[in-house]
Amino acid sequence: MSRTEAGAVAHSESNPADCLFCKIARHEIPSDVVYEDERTLAFRDINPQAPVHVLVIPKRHISSLAELGEGDEELAGHLLAVASRVASALGVGEGFRVVGNCGETAGQSVFHLHMHVLGGRRLGWPPG
């Protein structure tokens, strides 16, 4: 799939009915879930970039960090708390990275807000 085709697919996911991560959150598509509560889901990335690579998503469709609105502050904090909890549960609580890409030029490929939790090896800087 070309970058243009991938971009078209990613942008079509702004509709919650078609969104890959919404489907995962609704358990319509299988995933390796490591944490779930009423607002969030955390699952292993299918293309891990570190020994531990988990995605933390809100169950409610929000296309990106830029789309968080007034009143979403508590949810944003909860996503970070879940990222920390997941890192600890997976044995990398003493050294992990949380990454969020916002927009296509930043590398966002699925347009549903998500955070990458990476750990289990020394992570370099700058990341990309």
Q: Which CATH class is domain 3-119?
A: alpha beta
pLDDT band at 126 (very low <50, low <70, confident <90, very high): confident
Q: Is the peptide bond before 126 cis (omega within 30 degrees of 0)?
A: yes
What is the radius of gyration, based on Cα positions, of the chain? 14
- Dig out the tokens for 67 from the structure: 């789309």
Active-site residue (options: 53, 112, 114, 116): 114
**Is 114 noted as a catalytic residue in this protein?**
yes
Give the residue, 102 or 12, on which the prediction is more confident: 102
pLDDT at 14: 65
